[in-house]
Amino acid sequence: RDVGDPPRAAVGPQVLAHRGASAYAPENTLPAVDRAARLGATWVENDVQRTKDGQLVVIHDDTLRRTTDARRVFPDRAPWKVRDFTAAEIARLDAGSWFGAAFAGTRVPTLAGYLREVERNHQSLLLEIKNPELYPGVERQIVKSLADQGWLDARHLDRRLVVQSFDVDSLRTVHALAPGLRTAYLGRPATAELPAYASFTDGINPSYGSISTAYVSAAHGFTGPHGRPLSVFTWTVNDADTTRRAVALGVDGIITNKPDVVRAALPGS
C-alpha cells in the first residue's frame, strides 16, 4: 500500500513524533524535533497558531501558560492567549524551562524556523492547524509559508508533508487552496461518512481507543483525492504493547511521544 511513506520505511507503520519527541524534550520546540531525529523518527507532528501581529508559531495550547514563562514575564496579561501577543513578545519567552533546566532558553519556534529544522533533519512533517476558528484565513497563510519555503514542490507533496486538523472546514479550505497537498482529518468519522471525507482528505487520524481492525480496513477501502487509499495514523501510542496492537489493527502511522519505544516494538526491529 502506498500512502506516501518515505522510501526507507519498508516494514510496519510510520513513526511520527508527537509534538516532536515530546516525552524527552519540550513539546513543539526545535530540541524536540532534533531529539525525534536522533531517535529515528522520520516524521514529526506539530501544532500551528497565529500571533497578534499575524505571525505563525508552533505551539499546542491557545494560551502561553503551560509551556512558557509568560506568567512571569507578562504578569498582567492573563489569560495569556497566543493571539494576544506579538511575535516579538513570544520570542522573549522561555519555552523549555517548564520541561527541564537543560532546556532553559528554548524558544517558541516560528513556523518558518520549524520548517527549516525539519528540512535540515530530512524529516517529514504532519502539520496540525490548531484552533483555526480563532485565526480567520490561517489556512492561506500556512499554505503561503509552506510554498515560500519550498514545501509545496513535488518531492515534499509526495512524501514529506501532510496537513491535519480536527476542523473539516479548515481541511476543505486547504484542499481548495493547494489541491496537491495531502490532508488528514483528526477524528473518527462513521464508516458511512468515509466516502464524503475521501473527496477532500487523504487520511483519517483517529485516537487509538476509537478504532478497530474493521474500521482501519474500511478506511483503506476508500481512495482519497490523490488516488491512494485513505491512510490511518493513530494517536497517541507510547508503549510497546499498544504499539503491537496498533500494528495488528493495520494502521499506517503511529503518533507517539516516545518514538524510540514505538520503533523498538515494530515488527522486524
Task: With CA atoms as reference, report the closest residue to 44 among 70, 23, 66, 21.
Answer: 21
Asked if the peptide bond before residue 79 counts as cis, ω within 30 degrees of 0, the response is yes
CA angle 225, 191, 265 (to 5 degrees): 85
Chain positions contacting Ca ion, by CB under 5 A: 47, 128
Q: Nearest distance from residue 256's CB to ligand G3P, in Å?
A: 10
Cis peptide before 63 (omega within 30 of 0): no
Nearest residue (CB) to ligand G3P, 85 versus 235: 235
Q: Where are the alpha helices (DSSP H) in 61-212?
A: 70-73, 87-91, 111-120, 138-148, 154-155, 168-177, 194-197
| Helix (H/G/I), strand (E/B), else coil: 114 | helix
Q: Which of residues 219-238 bind ligand G3P (CB under 6 A)?
A: 235
Toward ligand G3P, which CB reaches closer, 255 or 262?
255
Does residue 18 contact residue 235 with C-beta atoms inside 8 Å?
A: yes
Question: Hey, which residues between 185 and 204 contact ligand G3P (CB under 6 A)?
Answer: 186
Q: Output the smallest distance, CB 153 to ligand G3P, in A.
A: 24
Say how many residues make up the chain.
269
Torsion angle defined by CA atoms of residues 91, 160, 27 and 260, in that order, rounded to the nearest 10 degrees: -150
Q: Which of residues 59-118 bind ligand G3P (CB under 6 A)?
A: 60
Cell matching residue 60: 499546542
State yes or no: residue 254 binds ligand G3P (CB under 6 A). Answer: no
Q: Quote the least distance from Cβ 144 to ligand G3P, whole Å.
A: 23
Measured from the CB atom, the residue of 65 and 92 that comes closer to ligand G3P is 65
Catalytic residue among 60, 156, 175, 220: 60
At residue 197's C-alpha, the angle toward residues 18 and 213, to 5°, is 65
Cβ-based nearer residue to Ca ion, 218 or 246: 246
User: Catalytic site residue 156?
Assistant: no
Of the candidates 5, 34, 94, 128, which one interacts with ligand G3P according to CB under 6 A? 128
* Residue 60 a catalytic site member: yes
The residues carrying an active-site annotation are 18, 60
Q: Which residues bind ligand G3P (CB under 6 A)?
A: 18, 45, 47, 60, 128, 186, 205, 235, 255
